[in-house]
Amino acid sequence: MTDDEILLGFALTVVLATGSQILASKLRVPALIILLPAGFAAGAATDVIHPDKLLGANFSALVSLSVAVILYDAGLGLDLRKLAHHTRGIVGRLLLYGVLLTFFVTAAVSPALFDMPLRVAAMLGVILVVSGPTVVGPLLDFVRPSDKVRRILIWEGTLTDPIGGILGALTFHAIASSHQIDIGRGYQLGQFALSLAVGLVGGAAGTALLWLALRVLRLGETLGTLAQLATVIAVSAGCDIVRDDTGLIAAIVTGLAVANLRGFDMPARRPFFETLVQLVIGLLFISISSTVTPASLVPVLLPALVLIAILVLVVRPVVAFAASARTDLSRGERAFIGWMDPRGIVAAATASAFSAGLVDRGVSGAARILPVTFLVIVGTVLLYALTAAPVARRLRVVKKAGTRVLLVGGEPWVVDLGRALRSAGPDMLMWAGREEERERIKAAGIELAKGDLLATAINPGARLEGVTAVFLATDDDDFNALAAVVMQDNVEGPVYRVGPPHGSHGVVAPYTGGDILFGPSLVRHVLAERYERGARFVVRPASSPLPPEHDTLFVVRADRRLVPVTERQRTVPQATDTLVLLGPVPADAGQRTSRGPRVP
């Protein structure tokens, strides 16, 4: 290829990877639905995007290193201490039954379906055991099932990636070294043990290096991210040099260790690393799918549809119902778990890496692994993306519509605002730190969050399950500003805060971004003073004329969604909406109206 063709190929790959993910986010669909067809079409339409021509024999090595980075990132999300006791058993059984049944069924039917040897069918079976949070997460965000179901599926999808990577590497070594899958002999078991030992040693070395970088040297966000990336690549490459494909094991072990060993000083947020992983995922899918030719898909298309039907209609339901038997899950929740098992990035990447390695070694039938995996990924993602939402509604596992609001603060005006919001329809939850404020919330009859809620919410990687919006209204503007920044990634919806006084010289609040509630005129101290002088919160239908001198604070939609008025957002109410207003100070400020929202 000429220099111009190489430049065009790299540019087109990056543009397709980025553009496909942007389009998918706007359409609210898993990125794979756009990435795979885009790469396949680009590969069929042009020669410049083919990775084997752009990179030649180096492509497999780059895929292996890229997968190592992805699996390390997946390992960072596996804080096993957060796996709640009541879901631990279900997740464990889903993993055990799912891996075993998927492997044995795929390995049993693939020789007849795809005319491949049993050892190649075993490789395909190991590749297809994985699912992955990169595809499960977006689907669940769109469907919005119950928190219990979401936790189970996210944990299962996250844990299957490293399990599949380890089993894939071991199976590859078994086939590549002996051209058999009989692992009962001592020699073959020794090969497995040797591969695992190399990966574990590499993982230990990576953990030690990151301990030095993150704990001893206490590198900040930017240098800490670079240290993680360099460590994962170096350790993975070193292990692969010693023994092929053991770098995946090292990357997984390093990620697990960093996530679960106490004392690591991980940066609270990793935007650069997350961006890098997202880009790597897009580049891998575009590159891998471009290597799948129409000619390779035609012979395996119908058999692949049969395999998809077996996996979706037989294997997954059996695994789900066996794993959730005699648990507190409802029949609908068990059925929905049985209808959610898409394949994702690790399946594609490992299929590309392992199939290429077996083809280079002259293993018969190995060339069919990648097109079959490609079709299974496309088929399962499309099927679940199109059916997950209606199935969830049919099974009644979708969360009720509306907003679950967390209102933080305990001053009298904040508690009265909580009363008004509750009477307008949204589900309310309040939290306050001081005991007298918590007693005030209890006296108002509003649900009080447990004491350590905010401590949990500001931990990196924590998630406030069920909370769709947070409003920070404490009497400390700097606390509101800091909490808004830290909690942004831990809540399903937006985080808002009341504004600080104009011209304030606070430590943080005047200099921190974020959407401010109620606009520039109704900052925190103005709200508190106006309330103390007798202004009250009023709840009334939007179809009624707006009373004079009343300020609109919130619009509650007919489906109970809460839309606040902010500096950046001016909401136009509909006739079916409900408004939460702040009334004027009475002409006689000495007369105090009874506290509580008025509902005319």
* Cβ count near 445 (within 10 Å): 10
Q: Please determine, for residue 433, whether its predicted confidence score (pLDDT) is greater than 70.
A: yes
The Cα–Cα gap between 356 and 347 comes to 14
**336, amino acid identity:** F
**SS3 category, 406:** strand
Q: For residue 549, with 0-12 CB atoms within 10 Å meaning exposed, 13-18 middle and 19 or more buried, which class applies?
A: exposed
Which pLDDT does position 11 carry in this prediction? 93
Place of tokens 């071991």: 170
Tokens describing residue 148: 């219990």
Which pLDDT does position 271 carry in this prediction? 64
462: pLDDT confidence band, cut at 50, 70 and 90?
Answer: very low
State percent of the chain over pLDDT 90: 22
Strand partners for 233: none
- Compute the mean pLDDT over every residue in the chain, rounded to the nearest whole number: 82
Which pLDDT does position 465 carry in this prediction? 60
Q: Please determine, for residue 569, whether its predicted confidence score (pLDDT) is greater than 80.
A: no
Q: Please determine, for residue 461, whether its predicted confidence score (pLDDT) is greater than 50.
A: no
Q: Please determine, for residue 146, whether its predicted confidence score (pLDDT) is greater than 70.
A: yes
3-class DSSP string for 135-200: HHHHHHHHHCECHHHHHHHHHHHHHHHHHHHHHHHHHHHHHHHHCCCCCCCHHHHHHHHHHHHHHH
* Cβ count near 539 (within 10 Å): 21
Taking CA 220 as the corner, what is the angle to CA 218 and CA 223, rounded to the nearest 5 degrees? 105
The Cα–Cα gap between 523 and 525 comes to 6
Helix (H), strand (E) at residue 464: none
- Helix locations, 428-532, DSSP H: 435-443, 453-457, 477-487, 524-532
Which has the closest alpha carbon to 513: 470, 568, 464?
568
Which pLDDT does position 321 carry in this prediction? 93
Which pLDDT does position 79 carry in this prediction? 66
Name the range with the highest mean pLDDT among 141-155, 164-178, 525-539.
525-539
The Cα–Cα gap between 538 and 25 comes to 38
Q: Per residue in 55-91, pLDDT tens?
A: 777 777 888 788 788 878 877 766 666 666 677 889 8
Q: Please determine, for residue 314, whether its predicted confidence score (pLDDT) is greater than 70.
A: yes
599: pLDDT confidence band, cut at 50, 70 and 90?
Answer: very low
Q: Which of 324-333, 469-478, 513-522, 585-594 has the lowest mean pLDDT?
A: 585-594
> Looking at per-residue confidence, does 414 or 398 come out higher?
414
> Looking at per-residue confidence, does 80 or 36 come out higher?
36
Q: Per residue in 254-305, pLDDT tens?
A: 988 888 787 775 554 566 677 888 888 888 889 888 888 888 899 999 999 9
Q: Per residue in 86-111, pLDDT tens?
A: 778 898 899 999 999 999 999 999 99
The Cα–Cα gap between 524 and 506 comes to 13
The Cα–Cα gap between 418 and 439 comes to 14
112: pLDDT confidence band, cut at 50, 70 and 90?
Answer: very high
Q: Are the beta carbons of 246 and 203 closer than 8 angstroms? A: no
Q: What is the DSSP string of 15-34?
A: HHHHHHHHHHHHHTS-HHHH
Q: Please determine, for residue 386, whether its predicted confidence score (pLDDT) is greater than 70.
A: yes
Q: Are the beta carbons of 377 and 343 closer than 8 angstroms? A: yes
Range 32-36 average pLDDT: 83
Q: In the chain, helix, strand, coil percent, each to 5?
A: 60, 5, 30
Which pLDDT does position 114 carry in this prediction? 93
522 secondary structure, DSSP code: S
Place of tokens 């492509």: 59
Name the range with the highest mean pLDDT among 115-124, 462-471, 561-570.
115-124
Q: Please determine, for residue 421, whether its predicted confidence score (pLDDT) is greater than 80.
A: yes
Tokens describing residue 186: 């001592």
Which pLDDT does position 460 carry in this prediction? 46
Which pLDDT does position 235 carry in this prediction? 95
**18, amino acid identity:** T
> Looking at per-residue confidence, does 307 or 519 come out higher?
307
> Looking at per-residue confidence, does 66 or 193 come out higher?
66
Tokens describing residue 381: 């993602």
Which pLDDT does position 187 carry in this prediction? 57
Tokens describing residue 160: 């299957």
Which pLDDT does position 190 carry in this prediction? 72
Q: Per residue in 476-526, pLDDT tens?
A: 888 888 888 777 766 767 888 888 877 665 555 555 655 788 877 888 888
Which has the closest alpha carbon to 364: 201, 179, 96, 99?
179
Which pLDDT does position 53 carry in this prediction? 80
Range 292-321 average pLDDT: 93
Which pLDDT does position 452 carry in this prediction? 56
> Looking at per-residue confidence, does 238 or 484 come out higher?
238
Q: Per residue in 40-54, pLDDT tens?
A: 899 888 888 888 788
Q: Per residue in 390-406, pLDDT tens?
A: 999 899 888 765 567 88
* Strands 551-556, 578-582: pairing kind: antiparallel
Q: Please determine, for residue 596, whether its predicted confidence score (pLDDT) is greater than 60.
A: no
Q: Which of 70-79, 118-127, 506-515, 548-557 has the lowest mean pLDDT?
A: 506-515
Q: For residue 485, with 0-12 CB atoms within 10 Å meaning exposed, 13-18 middle and 19 or more buried, which class applies?
A: middle
The Cα–Cα gap between 518 and 536 comes to 15
Place of tokens 């490789």: 123
Q: Which of 167-176, 407-416, 477-486 has the lowest mean pLDDT?
A: 167-176
Handedness of CA 245, 246, 252, 254 (dihedral sign): negative
State percent of the chain over pLDDT 70: 85
Range 514-539 average pLDDT: 85
